[in-house]
Amino acid sequence: MRSPRFNHQFTVRLADTDAAGVVYFNRLLERAHEAYEAWLESAGIGLTTWMEAGVQLPLVHAEADFLAPLTLGRRVRTLLLPGPPGRTSFTLDYRFLGDGDALLARARTVHVAMQNGESIPLPERLGRMFEQE
């Protein structure tokens, strides 16, 4: 497995849950995206950097597998694993871990770089985030 590049943490809040007593499924993807935003910020190239430069990074695909119920108050650790980048796109994998590093869920998002409505090569500072050490 590729090595995780970034760690993020969250607590399951009431707003994340639904009447079935667990996390409403799409909120896990929001938590994934939150880790992605924090990862970019940690490198000084948060989403606002790109917006100001007129570069969009829209999602073209998202998916998630739910392996265990995520209940209110639970502390979860998100591992972010950057995939090998494409020329105009990039893929991020996420692992959600509970106590004892039990795997609770995983997710993936695929993004493309765009400018003026056209796909563009990944900006260099962004592409560099995906180079394996």
Catalytic residues: 18
Q: What is the DSSP letter of 99?
A: G
Q: What is the DSSP letter of 14?
A: G
The torsion region of residue 130 among left (phi > 0), alpha (psi -120 to 50) and beta comes to alpha
Q: State in angstroms the smallest separation of the CB of 57 from its own copies.
A: 9
The footprint of its own copies on residues 37-76 (CB under 8 A) is 37-38, 41, 46-48, 51, 56, 58-67, 69, 71-73
Pairing of strands 89-97, 75-82: antiparallel
Q: Which is nearer to its own copies, 30 or 101 (CB)?
A: 30
Any contact of residue 33 with its own copies (CB under 8 A)?
yes
**H helix or E strand, kind and range, residue 13:** none
User: Which residues contribute to the site for its own copies (CB under 8 A)?
Assistant: 11, 13-15, 17-22, 24-27, 29-30, 33-34, 37-38, 41, 46-48, 51, 56, 58-67, 69, 71-73, 109
